[in-house]
Structure 1
Amino acid sequence: MSAIRTKKLGLTGKILLGMMSGIIIGLILRNLFPESEFIKDYITEGFLNVIGTIFISSLKMLVVPLVFVSLVCGTCSLSDPSKLGRLGGKTIAFYLFTTAIALSMAILIAIAIHPGQATMVTESMHFDAKQAPSLAEVIINIVPTNPMQAMSEGNMLQIIIFAVIFGFAVSHIGERGKRVAALFNDLNEVIMRVVTLIMQLAPYGVFALMAKLALTLGMETFSSVVQYFFVVLSVLLLHAFIVYPTLLKLFSGLNPITFIRKIRDVQLFAFSTASSNATLPVTIETAEHRMGVDNKIASFTLPLGATINMDGTAIMQGVATVFIAQVFGIELTISDYVMVVVTATLASIGTAGVPGVGLIMLAMVLNQVGLPVEGIALIIGVDRLLDMVRTAVNVTGDTVATVVIAKSENEFNEAVFNDTQAGKVAPGFNAQLHVGNK
């Protein structure tokens, strides 16, 4: 009886229960008390906001130490420079490849369905776009001038570069380096234990986030851009459940159905937080203990993916570019579409894994092909929901790449991957279960 109860109250079930109950209660309060200042001040912006914000903050709290420590551990174990270079080359190439596929598919489907209507009112639209960094600035800013400042600001690219250099140095100073590596391995164990503790609170945080979303999201915004919304949503789902499983089967020979079942917790976390970085602790835990990926691979590819692999954002940018061009009656040439693919693919390298940043990158893409940035005002109302879905797509892509690369490097435990109970010894995640060498 207790086993059945444990299965029913697993982490996925708890998160789904929290998500659905949060949406239902939020909608009930919204409809019963539409103008209530008490609900707005004490429930929406008070209780729910406090619980949701604390949950997100607790996840973000771990991101910088987790990325730095796990990358140092991973790089220490890759003492061979040729292996480190090969692993980095494979990872970046795979991420850019899937991003280009996502963009091309999004543009082709948007052109075929034609979601934009040139008769829509565009005179009153306004959107103040933040200045997106140029490609040259992105490349220059990869190397940190102050690693401590990079950590305090959460600059993931700079942290990754410093951690890789630091780990590489540790692996090349002999016995002293082994002592330092052992310290970082112990720190990694501590951080993973903290991850486990925080994830037990996830259903409550997800409940608060979903309830607040249901109370505050302007449903009237769907009417003008409903076709755009469903085009983006359809391409996102197509990429997550058709393209990724196909690539997984093609490059690794593994069962895509098993992968999809094991990635559900990560997708739910990503959907709830709308942040690849905030979901990173869950993604690493799942890749190692549920998928069978060795720590030295997961600790390298997943932090890198949370920073540069933004397929979901690329899909939004592709559809939005076509949509805005159609709304304003502007014809884009083949060379314009090629420029969109190249620009958005390269821009994904500089896209931070935080909510809403895709709109900043979209402004850069629109400027590149001469489209009015004001068109973003049309889609900003529904972007919050789409942001949640595309974050789930992003973390799915990160995990697919990690599994494929681990398999190619013979750093993968297929028995763990095929074991449906792996990593589920207790409800949630088990920090004591380890796969491969630490």
Structure 2
Amino acid sequence: MATPSSLKDKVKPKEWDIMGKISLSTLDLSNRNLTELPNELFELTELEALDLTNNKNIDLSNELIKLTSLKLLCLDRCNLDTVPAVVMKLQQLETLILRSNKNITLPDEMCSLVNLTYLDLYSCDLMSVPAAVMKLSQLKGLRLSSNKNIALPDEMCSLVNFTYLELANCGLDTLPSVVLKLLNLQELDLSHNTQISLPEELCRLENIKVLTLFECNLLTVPPAVLNLTQLEELDLCANRGIHLPDEMAGLTNIRVLKLCGVEMVTVPPVVGGLTQLEWLDLSFNPLQTLSAVIGQLTNVKHLMLSNCQLYTLPPEVGRLTQLEQLNLRDNQLQTLPTEVGQLISVNDLKVDGNPLIKPPAEVCRQGIDVIRQYFQELKRSDEKSRNRSVGSKTAVRTYPADPDAPAAAYRCVLRQFDRTNIWVGHTKESHS
């Protein structure tokens, strides 16, 4: 029997962010007010992910076991009081999303999910981590965020494959002691715990590479963090007024640093010293200008500077020859330095929301090569003006540089892309 196209055609590749991005062939049946699964579903034997979000009190048929390729099941906001029995029969399942099912219970039979590596229990109003979780021997990642004051039992240390733990917005004032025993932990998210204090023993987590401290009301980078010399990614966004101590220079393995919305008015020298950085997010800070230290970050590939009130960029930005993404959206830039043309690796340049004149936004939107040609034409135009002034034998006064040179350079560059029509400002002119 052929699968009806009305359902089969809805299967699309989708990128899921589950301990990193993964693309799965997904059927999205969310928000359909379904009380049971459609029979046509059970013929989609190659389906990898099923999203049933916000289908209240849905009944999951035993026929679900026919989906032998199913790796991800999302039961977000389904008003479940326990995990449906058929789920325990999906032994190939790798990801189970149960978020926002208030006070849900997890039966011991979940231990049959021998391939389950990620469990999402976000905002389930749990008082403690369910005992069934400790029986998931292959579990690598657990999301417990928005379970206020949740208790983490010592038995969690039996999860020897555990590498990812999310405890955002749990009302924590310190790190649960069992976390310090999860010696294979690589990623830890403590965001939105505004009273949290990190103990010196944090250094026991010698394998931790990613630490997220978004909006934790931190006044400075905790000393315990400065001892995590193996750290590769640190998120300090939304910690307003946070101080970055000189000791941060010891984080010699850090590749990603996120400082979005920390009310930074200038980039401190210690940031310029983190020369191994590949990703730097400084967006939503009242910088107005960017200090020359930015030029020291010669390995940076992604630089986020949107909504920073920037009026100028320093010429040192031209040293960032590894840069691939440059986000300058929503600033006050009227000009870009000529050195921007040296950023030959940039393939994602965003300048929307700036009153750009030199070069015009229309030029910038066509990429670095066109920007470089624009500045070359501008230089040639200026040289011609100077030569005309010097070479004149009859003129009593000399001529200033041509005030229309930027527009002339703009026209010359765009003419190379369209020999018949060019754009001047917002008006199209025809040329034979």
The question of a shared fold, defined as TM-score above 0.5 by the shorter chain, is answered with no
TM-score range, shorter chain: under 0.3
TM-score by length of 1: 0.18
Larger relative contact order (Cα-Cα within 8 Å, sequence gap ≥ 6): 1
| Bigger proportion of residues as strand | 2
| Bigger proportion of residues as helix | 1
Larger Rg computed on CA atoms: 2
